[in-house]
Structure 1
Amino acid sequence: MSHPDTLIAEDLLLLLMDDEKGRLSASSQAQPLLGGALLVQLALDGAVEVEETNSRWRPAKVEARQVAGTDPDPLLAGAWETVAQKPRSAQDLVSRLGKGVREQLQDRLVAKGMLERRQTRVLGLFPSTVWPAADRQHEQQVRQRLQDCLVAGAAPDARTAALVALLAAVDQAHKVVDRGALSTGEVKRRAKAISEGAWAAKAVRDAVAASQAAITAAVMASTAATVSAGS
């Protein structure tokens, strides 16, 4: 399992954090989204696979695959071990893999010098931790790649396309770029086209599609539960 300087999940977190306030937008979506990011990265590494199924009633299961490689990222290795326990649906996995991951990712980004951990108080009373940006260079590079694909029409690499698919699953793709003369709808359509495009092997696209659907379902269930509790 090879890995670059950051995980896709770390890039996602940087994109969705407010650089000044140090808080996460769409925080209720974080667990399934970040879990989905780990699952998608495992798929890009060839470490997981979605079974073929023709059933409309039984969700396809995700299975682990052995991959030759050295020094796997510890977070990815832990996610792979969870998948390897037994075949599970993507919807089960995105929530399972995302549990407690945001805090781990924030700690890692602080260690890399990209975020700063700062203690503050809400309403001057309640202690709270915020994570404002410390070094924005990497985040700006990620945003530029997204800008090139979603606005300028450049062909994405597999990692950028996966990032677009994950952002689209929580309706955020159009919010992380400067869309210029394009409408919100046009950027959303480009994000959808990239998500479904032929940028990776079918096995990877199957895993991305399953993760997208699982994230969307988990977010809708969370929103419904919140609305129900408030009514």
Structure 2
Amino acid sequence: MAQQPEGPRAERGAETHVGTRSLDAPTLAEDLLLLLFQPDSGTIAGENTLSYVLAGAVLADLAAGEHISAAPSRMGFLNVEAVERRAPTDRILRSAWDYVAARPRGVQTVLAAIGPTLREPLLERLLTRRDLRQESRTTLGLFKTTVIVEGGNGRRARILSDVREVLAGGAEPTPRSAALSALLWGSGTLPQFDPTIPWTSEVIARAQELERGNWGAGAAAEAVTRTMTAIIAGSVLVAAAARPQG
């Protein structure tokens, strides 16, 4: 039996908190989960690989905030390691940062370790923020069920529009929209967004460019973020492809 990866450790209190976002601001993983929510069916696209994809978004967020960096291992592979005294303030990001801070680890190891616990707390945040809401329905006049529906505040539509403009409209991506686009491609769910995001050879080529970290000219300061996001998105793609479907 394959050994299961060690999970994230409890939070430590010694590091200085220098998170770059307000506690009230949505994380990249929240935006990705909201984007993957399918209003017509009330389901989340790509449930089979969701843990890897959400974990990739958490790592991409940590990279964008300069909380983690990439370092070569003794075997020549790339590990991710925590940047000292750069612990994020967000609790979900902090838990992942603590896990990486214990020692440098391979991206695939981190994805497998932190991903399984992410769906529920992220979904709870979307419900609390009213991006999504729960609705009671009666089936066959007898059975009451609770379903999740879109919250009606328009945030999912705005995120989807941004990603569509990047993938299909030729818009210059921000680090956030580039990461969302790359992770959406890596998740294998992009065809499910057709026709809003048309499933064409041009869109596929654009998504692959973003997954490789080719975002356009951009600012020199974004080079590290592009590199880290490319490493993470590529690892998500490999993990998603290797995951049994069904």
Q: Which category of TM-score, normalised to the shorter sequence, fits these structures? A: 0.7 to 0.9
196-205 vs 157-166, greater mean Cα deviation: 196-205
Partner-residue secondary structure (3-state), 1:72: coil
The alpha carbon displacement at 1:203 in A equals 2.5
Which SS does the other structure have where 1:201 is aligned?
A: helix
- What does residue range 194-213 of structure 1 map to in structure 2 within 5 Å? 194-195=210-211, 196-198=213-215, 199=218, 201-213=222-234
Partner Cα separation in structure 2 for residue 85 and residue 102 of structure 1: 23
Which structure has more RCO (C-alpha within 8 Å, separation ≥ 6)? 1
Listed as ranges, the matches of 1:47-58 within 5 Å are 47-52=67-72
Residue identity in the other structure for 1:88: R
Kindly report which structure 2 residues correspond to 1:67-78, keeping only aligned pairs within 5 A, or say none.
Answer: 72-78=89-95
2:77 is matched with: 59
Deviation at 1:88? Answer: 0.7
8 Å contact from structure 1 (residues 146, 177) kept in 2: no
Q: Residue type of the partner of 1:66?
A: E
User: Which residue is 2:55 aligned to?
Assistant: 35
Aligned partners of 1:124, 1:91: CA distance in 2, in Å?
47
What residue number does 1:2 align with?
20
Q: How far did 1:122 drift?
A: 9.4
Percent identity over the alignment is 28
Aligned residue among 120, 132, 149 for 2:166: 149
> In 2, distance between residues paired with 1:186 and 1:108?
34
Match of 2:125 in 1: 108
Shift of 1:149: 1.4
Matched residue pairs, number?
221
Are 2:66 and 2:86, in contact at CA under 8 Å, matched by a contact in 1? Answer: no
Q: Any residues of structure 2 matched to 1:36-185 within 5 Å, and which?
A: 36-52=56-72, 59-66=77-84, 72-118=89-135, 130-173=147-190, 175-176=192-193, 178=195, 184-185=200-201
1: CA distance between counterparts of 2:138 and 2:105?
A: 41
Alpha-carbon distance between aligned partners in 1 of 2:155 and 2:113, rounded to the nearest angstrom? 28
In structure 2, what is the Cα distance between the partners aligned to 1:128 and 1:87? 45
- 2:204 aligned with 1:188: yes
Output one character per residue of 1:29-86: Cα deviation in whole Å (capped at 9) or x when no partner.
Answer: 100000010000000000001114696xx531100013558x7211111111111111
Q: 1:104 to 1:183 in 2, by over 3 A?
A: closer
**Structure 2 stretches lacking a partner, 5+ long:** 1-18
**TM-score calculated relative to the size of structure 1:** 0.82
Greater share of residues in helix: 1
Question: Letter of the aligned partner of 2:149 in structure 1?
Answer: P
